[in-house]
Amino acid sequence: MSPTDHAGRRRVAITGIGVKAPGGTTVDDFWAAVLAGRGLARGLTRFDPAALAVRIGAEVDGFDPAAYCGPKEARRMDRATQLGFAAAMDAVADADLPPGLDRSRAAVLAGTGVGGLMTLEEQVGVLLGRGPDRVSPLLVPMMMANATAGTISIHLGWTGPNLCIATACAAGAHAIGEAVRLLRDGSCDVVVAGGTESSQTPTAISAFARMGALSGRNDDPGHASRPFDAARDGFVMGEGAGFLVLETMEHAEARGARILGEVLGYGRNGDAHHITAPAPGGTGAAACMRLALADAGLDPADVRSINAHGTSTPLNDASESAAIADVFGAGRVPVTSTKGVTGHLVGAAGAVEAIAALLTSRDGVVPPTANHEHTGEDITADVVHGAPRTTGPGPVLSNSFGFGGHNASLVVRAHTEETT
């Protein structure tokens, strides 16, 4: 296999993946839940939401952080760090990296929207209720956004670049894309990159609800997240983490690694329009997708499907559909959104959905968009719904767009005999 791509740059192999998400704490369970196309939101269980206007979310079940680091260390981590650390360790185990790895050329890039919000909110309650002398001395290392990146780096002993990306809902995708750039430019041989988030707190839920961003379907949570549907009324707050091990193709082949796929292209730009609303007509998103395609050396017709940002908000879905039509033509490429199943994983979304895109490419099957019953009149995209759709293996594009006008698009392709 050639170690360089169409532009003479180092190719970037995916050699390990790990997921902690609603529907599964293993890659296989997660993928089965996504293919089943059933919304997993329910009433929130980690605090009493009775006083809140929105009382639903999509939670990660069956997750024991102590299994990864012991109970004492787990208690010193915010839940977002626990999820991210565990997903990263799963990815590293999946990659089966050699013990003689040059740790000075191994990097960590972790994305998040807000970091340890759960711990911060809890400790503000302690401050107000019990006084400043009772605030935990662990608050700062537990709440800081870079805690996940630091924890992974420390545990692995990797002394290469150790970075945190905080670009809201695009953070996980940006972490992967910036990792690709580190590998291409020769700064590193190996990077573990992804995103994590757990911000299901009373304050966060209330704030998003006050913005009008959340679905208010408290009486029917399983059908609340409905991307691109005519009756969509907002997103569902999820939680989770996704991480990938990326290597230069040369490094991966030299050690005899099992190669799962490649990151072919990465685009990122800014809307420069509004702190929470997308650019009119999805112009920023369209430009971002074009950047990713150009980076991959592909034409729009080469893309088998799109894993959309698809949040289930009226504004985002209409804007993204317009952007897709601008780049690919209206209804010309199958589009799905896994957020119908998982809810919105915020800073983890781009990484978890990049993994979903890789699995879509591997199996040649596009998962259905959960709860999509009637396509909105403002949607021109060919939204896959009802059942998975077979497209065959090939490149898949994954979009992530965040508050602040942060846009990221990734093009991934699974490894097959045809791609060698």
Strand partners, 194: 110, 243
CA 153 – CA 162 distance, rounded (Å): 7
Helices within 212-366 (DSSP H only): 249-254, 283-296, 314-328, 339-342, 349-363
Structural tokens at position 64: 């024991």
The single-letter code of the amino acid at 31 is W
Structural tokens at position 311: 């949040």
Q: Residue holding tokens 């293993």?
A: 26
CA 311 – CA 199 distance, rounded (Å): 16
CA 416 – CA 5 distance, rounded (Å): 16
CB 84 within 8 A of CB 238: no
CB 11 within 8 A of CB 29: no
Strand partners, 262: 13, 413
User: What 3-state class would DSSP assign to 404?
Assistant: coil
| Integer CA distances (angstroms), 144 to 334, 351, 368, 387, in order | 39, 20, 36, 41
Q: Residue holding tokens 């983890």?
A: 348
Beta 406-414 vs 396-402: how paired, if at all?
antiparallel
Q: What is the distance of C-alpha 170 from the center of its chain? A: 8
Residues 30/143/157/68 CA torsion (nearest 10 deg): -40
End-to-end Cα spacing for the chain:
5
User: What 3-state class would DSSP assign to 292?
Assistant: helix
Q: Within a 10 A sphere around the Cβ of 210, how many other Cβ atoms?
A: 11
| Integer CA distances (angstroms), 418 to 261, 305, 393, 415, in order | 12, 18, 10, 8
The set of catalytic residues is 169, 309, 344
